């Protein structure tokens, strides 16, 4: 991984920041994408550059703006002169109870979770092919088993799972494409849907008896990016076994 360059979307906070730190710790240079969390992204970049000068840069774009996506890739390539990996981590997540779904919710959830990963992959593909690189998409165990009241989110993540497999065919043999499907890792910032009772139910439903840690997802991403040269088109569940009971 030494000298490699990876673009991580939604890298300013939470799981995205953990992924960026893990890849950086292993020797990669990271382009930290943000939209509205510029201050958090700048703090993370300062931390990483403090550990290794010139190893992190902040790149900003609204992933719902199609015209911004090729520019985002080019900004990352310009920063480091190459692109070895793309991690499509950024995601909108909010409830859309059936009967009240509106076009803006559809645009937001499918735009961030499905459309942006497709067009970022398309823009990044020539650079990744030159580097014999890889893409990792952060999916969700609810791509396979929908979450009640989150129909649009579940649909979008299901599409991302399909996109992962399709891109593995489209971009092979030079670019590998895989996915990580987290279970309960961090509770949402909003208390919506996940009250104390629901949290307890999810933990009880998980064979390992706890929620995960962002480091669990970050380690899986690092493996699929750099340590799995004969793995493509696969989706790795990082969920403590919860999907066995869904």
User: What residues pair up with 33 in beta bridges, in sequence order?
Assistant: 59
Choose, from 93, 119, 153, 226, the residue flagged as catalytic.
153
Residue 153 annotated as catalytic:
yes
Q: Is the dihedral of CA 77, 112, 167, 187 positive or negative?
A: positive
Which tokens hold the place of 202?
Answer: 């999810």
Q: Distance (Å, rounded) from C-alpha 125 to C-alpha 167?
A: 10
Determine the Cα–Cα distance for residues 136 and 130; give it in Å rounded to an integer: 17
DSSP line for 43-75: HHHHHHHHHSTT-EEEEE--TT-TTHHHHHHHH
State how far the Cα of 47 lies from the Cα of 69, in Å rounded to an integer: 26
DSSP β-bridge partners for residue 48: none
Closest CA to 84 of 13, 39, 119, 132: 132
Instruction: Name the residues annotated as catalytic.
Output: 153
């Amino acid at each position: 991984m030494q000298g490699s360059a990876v673009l991580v979307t939604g890298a300013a906070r939470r799981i995205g920041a953990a992924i960026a730190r893990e890849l950086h710790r292993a020797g990669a240079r990271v382009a930290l994408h943000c939209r509205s969390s510029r201050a958090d992204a700048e703090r993370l970049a300062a931390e990483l550059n403090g550990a290794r000068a010139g190893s992190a840069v902040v790149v900003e774009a609204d992933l719902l703006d199609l015209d911004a996506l090729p520019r985002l890739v080019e900004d990352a390539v310009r920063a480091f002169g190459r692109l070895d990996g793309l991690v499509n981590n950024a995601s909108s997540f909010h409830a859309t109870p059936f009967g009240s779904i509106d076009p803006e919710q559809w645009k937001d959830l499918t735009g961030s979770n499905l459309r942006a990963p497709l067009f970022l992959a398309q823009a990044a593909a020539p650079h990744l092919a030159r580097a014999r690189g890889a893409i990792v998409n952060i999916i969700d165990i609810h791509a396979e088993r929908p979450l009640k009241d989150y129909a649009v989110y579940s649909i979008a993540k299901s599409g991302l799972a399909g996109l992962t497999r399709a891109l593995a065919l489209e971009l092979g043999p030079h670019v590998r494409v895989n996915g990580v499907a987290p279970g309960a890792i961090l509770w949402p910032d909003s208390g919506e849907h996940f009250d104390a009772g629901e949290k307890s139910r999810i933990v009880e439903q998980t064979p390992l008896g706890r929620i995960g840690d962002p480091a669990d997802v970050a380690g899986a991403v690092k493996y699929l990016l750099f340590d799995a040269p004969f793995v493509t088109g696969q989706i790795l569940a990082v969920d403590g076994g919860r999907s066995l009971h869904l």
